[in-house]
Amino acid sequence: MMPPVGVILAGGLASRMGGGDKGLLQLGNKTLLEHVVERLAPQVTNIVLNANGDPARFLTKSMPVIADSIGGYVGPLAGVLAGLDWAANIGADSVVTVAADTPFFPRNLVSSLRLAAEDMSHPLVLAATPDVKKGKVRHPTFGLWPVSLKDDLRAALTNGVRKVVIWTDRHSDRTAVFPDETAFFNVNTPADLIRAEEML
């Protein structure tokens, strides 16, 4: 399996934060997006940012910006599809997605996802953490996705599928479980940003 490329998902509306780009919020002496890039860059060969609207607001960042290919803010699957299309154009066979508002994700994210996918013909694996009641909780914006399924995903989105796990469960229910329950803590609200400062 070729090394995957990285896709940072930042295409949402950030409504609970009052709108705008959560990735550009300051956390310590860096933006959330800079924290995410710093963790992801050593794990992948290339990085692209999935964001809608005017890409010029990200031009200070040294990575391409791609918009959803399906309009209407239909959710993270549209960002995954945009990343798969981009990866196909550069000859990559898989992508790893991360969320732009989750600054503490594991530094072994990619290696763990790939290990979990070792014997799969279509390597599709989501990150998960332990949960006392459910056994584990999946984090569907953090996953390994095969370029070979991009047309299947495009058809599913066209047919109205919006929830990530509804589509992934058709092809794989495999997960890579990370022991730290706070690893995928994400900044959705001003209170979350305060907590992230404490965690930092």
Other CB atoms within a 10 A radius of the CB of residue 138 amount to 21
Tokens of 146: 């095969």
Expressed as residue numbers, the domain containing 98 is: 5-199
Q: How many domains does the chain have?
A: 1
pLDDT for 11 equals: 72
pLDDT for 139 equals: 97
Tokens of 131: 């949960």
Specify the pairing of strand 135-146 against strand 30-31: unpaired
Q: Could you tell me the CATH number of the domain that includes residue 48?
A: 3.90.550.10
pLDDT for 18 equals: 45
Residue range 50-86, pLDDT digits in tens: 998 888 888 666 789 999 988 888 899 999 999 999 9
φ/ψ of residue 22, rounded to 5: -60, -35
Other CB atoms within a 10 A radius of the CB of residue 111 amount to 12
Residue range 12-44, pLDDT digits in tens: 654 444 456 888 899 999 999 999 999 999 999
Contact 42, 2 (CB under 8 A): no
Global pTM reads 0.93
Percent of the chain, pLDDT > 90? Answer: 78
pLDDT for 194 equals: 94
Tokens of 113: 């996802």
Q: How many CA atoms lie within 13 A of 134 on its CB side?
A: 7
For the segment 133-157, the average pLDDT, to the nearest whole number, is 96
